[in-house]
A and B are shown apart, each in its own frame.
Chain A
Amino acid sequence: MAENWQQETEMSNAFWLKLIIKIALKLPRWSVRLLLHPIVLFFLLIATEKRHASYHYLSKVLSYPPKIWHVYKHFYWFSAVLLDRVYFLTNQHSYFDLSFAHRQEVIDSFNEHPGQFFLSGHYGSVEALKTQAMNKHYEIKPVIKLDHNPTIVSLLKELNPEFYEGVIPYKGLETTFEIYENLKKGTSIALLADRPIGGSKTLLVNFLGDQIPLPEGIFEMILRFPYPINFFFSQYLGGNRYRVEYFQIELSKTDTPQILAQKFADHLALQCKNSPYNWFNFYTYWITSSHET
């Protein structure tokens, strides 16, 4: 099941990404954003399952019953953030107004602990964090499962070859070793912890009144490694504004992977309530999770 939704989404992402990238590099951002509307409308009409997933999710985070235009906005924000990824990757940062919360605390902590964990979800734009890392406060490598989306990878490599040099491809056993080797030499690691990877073990957590499966291996690993843990969420605020918020996570000795995973889900849920349209998991995995795992 998990494999299926990952593959399905990467294929459709690849299609849209290809189209958007080609146009985005030719035209100014505002005009491409206008072009997104017909694309989003088309997507809204054909992607029944994603539409249902969005309805379901929005019904949990909005204080009123979601209508079709809320789903439209949800899809539009996804496409807008995807579009901005092109500009982030091609270093056109002048387009954006980035703000940060608790950033200085994190920067200060690098003096003592240069290698740290940064956990986020498919929420907003992770690229906004990467950009900040590039201004030399610290080095941060995201762990990405590459083999699912070779089309996207080749497209992104074209856009910014250096970006992918700074990525750890998720493979399996060797990835754990690579993560450790990087942390040890002072490079931080970013992980998206809101989706299970392939057939790996999962932990069921409460998320907005549902149960969703999170990847157990990630929470197990960060508890067993002696490196500081941060959650970060990079919200798109509309227009050209992004806001990256950090949370330095204090662990207690009694924390288990289950407790930490729930803590992460709670932070994520709060972000979703604060800014609902940034959640980019258009799958029903949280609905069916109790049957699938």
Chain B
Amino acid sequence: MLTPEQLEMAQLIIEAVNLEDIQADEIDPEDALFTNGLGLDSIDALEISLELSKKYGVKIKSSDVNINEIFGSIASLTAFVQANKQN
């Protein structure tokens, strides 16, 4: 079950990378974003990060050591954004 923040994140991801056949509320927040889960790639991750920067002022950089963990799942990405958002 998604929290409201996770649902918002799922919607942002669906819009950012055009996941047409997926409903936000059907996503398991713990599912992997890459490969087996939603099947995103690193360019999708970059596009999502640009959206996050626009919407929340959260900047994710290549120098962030835990970048793979941040993009691990909807849950981890939401937690990171909630902890770092500017507005």
Asked if B45 and A173 make an inter-chain contact with CB atoms under 8 angstroms apart, the answer reads yes
Bound: A180/B49 CA distance, A: 11
User: What bracket does the count of chain A residues touching chain B fall in?
Assistant: 10 to 19
Contact partner of A181 (CB less than 8 A), chosen from B34, B42, B62, is B62
C-beta contact mask, A147-188 vs B, less than 8 Å → 1, else 0?
A: 000000000000000000000000011111110110000000
Q: Which A residue sits closest to B60, measured CB to CB? A: A177
Give min CB distance, A187 to chain B, whole Å. Answer: 13
Bound: A180/B44 CA distance, A: 12
- In the complex, B54 has a CB within 8 A of chain A: no
Asked if B43 and A221 make an inter-chain contact with CB atoms under 8 angstroms apart, the answer reads yes
Asked if A177 and B41 make an inter-chain contact with CB atoms under 8 angstroms apart, the answer reads no
Bound: A224/B42 CA distance, A: 12
Chain B residues positioned under 8 Å from A177 (CB to CB): 42, 45-46, 49, 60-62, 67
User: What bracket does the count of chain B residues touching chain A fall in?
Assistant: 10 to 19
Interface residues of B in 5-62 (CB under 8 A from A): 34, 41-43, 45-47, 49, 60-62
- In the complex, A66 has a CB within 8 A of chain B: no
Give min CB distance, A239 to chain B, whole Å. Answer: 41
Give min CB distance, B18 to chain A, whole Å. Answer: 12
Asked if B46 and A180 make an inter-chain contact with CB atoms under 8 angstroms apart, the answer reads yes
Chain B residues positioned under 8 Å from A175 (CB to CB): 42, 62
- In the complex, B68 has a CB within 8 A of chain A: yes
Bound: A221/B45 CA distance, A: 12
Bound: A221/B61 CA distance, A: 17
C-beta contact mask, A206-242 vs B, less than 8 Å → 1, else 0?
A: 0000000000010011001100000000000000000
Chain B residues positioned under 8 Å from A220 (CB to CB): 41, 43
Asked if A176 and B68 make an inter-chain contact with CB atoms under 8 angstroms apart, the answer reads no
CB-CB nearest 3 A-B residue pairs: A178-B62, A177-B62, A176-B42
Q: List 18 other contacts, CB 8 Å, given A176-B43, A176-B46, A177-B61.
A: A172-B68, A173-B42, A173-B45, A173-B68, A173-B71, A174-B64, A174-B67, A174-B68, A175-B42, A176-B42, A176-B45, A177-B42, A177-B45, A177-B46, A217-B43, A221-B42, A221-B43, A224-B47
